[in-house]
Structures are given as structure tokens and as C-alpha cells.
Structure 1
Amino acid sequence: MSHVSILPVPVHAERRSLLPVLASIPAGVTSRQLECLYWVQEGKSATDIGAILGISGRTVEGHLIKACNNFGVRTRFQAVLKARDLGLLAPPRP
């Protein structure tokens, strides 16, 4: 019979490391908006992004417009730069 040791690790330690990231996300920005911005960064069109995410290109456009509003910018490219500067654009999880 094997012996298993369990070391006490505070559960909140992981959450604490996320606080600076969460604090930097502008109010109202959703994970779907960030996902769309990631694909814009990769050079994809709204139609391409829609195919990747399983939604319409028009819905993608809506997410991008809302992302621009939430970041306080006029273009999707400015929104990408803001999100990238804040460290919010990462490859989507499989």
C-alpha cells in the first residue's frame, strides 16, 4: 500500500495571482470579445472568426463593436493593441 502525502496549499493563492489581471480588464469586456480580438490579431476576418467559433460573422462584428466600446477605442485594431498591452490576448483553450 502506498502512502500519499498532501501538502496544505491555500486555495486562494491561485486567485490572488489573477487579481492584477482581473483588475486590468475594462468593465463589460467579455471572454467572447477577447476571443474575437485574439483572432483579429491573427489576421482573421469576421467570417473566418465566425467559422472558427461556430457563430455568424455578423455576431462576431457585434462582439468586436462592443469590445471597441468597452476599451474606449474606435477600431478593432486599437482594441487589439489595448488588450495586448493589458496581457489579455492568449490563444484559446482547446
Structure 2
Amino acid sequence: MKKSIKKVMALVAICAMSFGTAFVINEKQTKEAQAWAGIGYLAAKKGASAEAGLAIGAIGAVQGSLHGAAWGAAFGGPVGFGVGLAVGL
């Protein structure tokens, strides 16, 4: 019984840390999203194709999700990695 309570408490602690970092990551991503939007705008203004704009957007989304996954893994292990990846998107 003690073993299962410890496992549940560990899972609760991991989730709490992951959700706590999600708020920090979310605030940073807002600025990153603006940066990626600015890069896409400048590329379009210089005459970039629609495919280039799509690539810029996809790179921005992947970068955000990997950043979230890295923070989640740092504070929550494998579960934090999954949560950070989802939050990063």
C-alpha cells in the first residue's frame, strides 16, 4: 500500500512541476511566436513563395514544441517531456 501511495505522490509531483513550467513556457512562446510571425512577414515582403512561408511556420511550431519538451523533461522526466511537447504546440 505504501508503495502505491509513493508512486501516486511522485506522479502528482511530476504533473505539478510540468504544469508549473507550462506557464513559464507559455509566456516565452508568445514572444517566440511573434518572432516567427515577423520572420514570415519579412520573407513574404521580400517575395518568398507560399512553400517558404509554410516551412517558416512549421519550423516555428517544431521549435516551440521541442523547447517545451526540453523544459518538461528537465523538471518532470519522461512524463514532463510528453506534457511539455503537448504544451509547446
TM-score, shorter chain, exceeding 0.5: no
Normalised TM-score (structure 2):
0.31
Which structure is higher in helix share? 2
Normalised TM-score (structure 1):
0.30
